[in-house]
Structure 1
């Protein structure tokens, strides 16, 4: 089974999601030994982690070379996940059909994923995708958005990398960039746990520290034109 931490190739099964209310044999995403079904017929966690990390890193680099979109919807989230993982997983871009948990955290039930995502993205649209906000206000909006998106956890695997890419695009569209390389895994994990408990302060603090104004050349051409008017 693959670890969703893109900075860790250790293959530590303790970090993996498990299906809630199912046995491992009933998980449609896994082989009988618990390793995620994949396009390479790999049967060990360690080898799959290496291939997955290598493939997803290349896909993310490719996505970051393209201008960020200026509108965001549920379909954007699915397209990002598909692009990052389509070479590895046959279910890339598709929402999970099982309930999952990690540690003591249970994520949104699979039957409610699409409805909850529609509400989340509609709220983002109603707020004009958080554009035109000062750093403090943008940090709060982005923190609340990520906390809810992470709570939903729509995919069987690969949620973290998909979330970071999506938020990078949202930030660029609003004129900011996120220095994800400075955010430690433990800091993000703690912020997400606090968020589930209703405390967004830790996540807001992360964005206040690691958000900055984006260089003009990183912005979408439409935004550059708008800024010059």
Structure 2
């Protein structure tokens, strides 16, 4: 089995700067940072750089790799985008979003369908070692407004 540099070998838990071992405490901490994004939104380009900025904001006090693309392959039931394909698949996913004019001006039904498809693609990309769901939700919340 490959060594995962993101995990503490002694505990098997994700390394974090604050030594948090309680998932509820970590979730509470990140919720506070997500709430701050309303006052400090991403650039509005709605690209990989914006997603990385959101991830960085949410995790900057927790992990050394905040906003950085993962360096290992990961799976949760299904395998996510292989690490060697992250940038090319991200270009494809965000390229579709650009070609769809960031979903602006769509009728509600089309917007919901398009946002759902984009969210699925973003989840398959899973560009970070952890905290993808929180970053994706914050990103798509900003996209929807």
Q: Which residue of 2 aligns with 1:133?
A: 106
Query: How many correspondences in the alignment?
Result: 144
How big is each residue's C-alpha offset from its partner over 1:178-217, in whole Å with a ceiling of 9 and x where there is no partner? xxxxxxxxxxxxxxxxxxxxxxxxxxxxxxxxxxxxxxxx
Deviation at 1:69, TM superposition (A): 4.7
- Say yes or no: does 1:38 pair with 2:11: no
What are the within-5 Å matches in structure 2 for residues 44-55 of structure 1?
A: 45=21, 47=22, 49-55=23-29
CA–CA separation in structure 1 for the residues paired with 2:124 and 2:130: 14
CA–CA separation in structure 2 for the residues paired with 1:95 and 1:142: 23
Q: Which residue of 1 aligns with 2:144?
A: 171
What are the within-5 Å matches in structure 2 for residues 1-229 of structure 1?
A: 22-23=1-2, 26-32=3-9, 33-42=11-20, 45=21, 47=22, 49-66=23-40, 69-103=43-77, 105-172=78-145
CA–CA separation in structure 1 for the residues paired with 2:128 and 2:45: 22
Asked if the contact 2:86–2:125 (Cα under 8 Å) also holds between the matched residues in 1, the reply is yes
Asked if the contact 1:96–1:155 (Cα under 8 Å) also holds between the matched residues in 2, the reply is yes
Structure 2 unmatched ranges of 5 or more: none
Deviation at 1:63, TM superposition (A): 0.2
What value does the CA root-mean-square deviation take over the aligned residues?
Answer: 1.5
Deviation at 1:68, TM superposition (A): 6.5
Deviation at 1:65, TM superposition (A): 2.9
Asked if the contact 1:55–1:85 (Cα under 8 Å) also holds between the matched residues in 2, the reply is no
CA–CA separation in structure 2 for the residues paired with 1:72 and 1:40: 30
Structure 1 unmatched ranges of 5 or more: 1-21, 173-229
SS at match of 1:37: coil
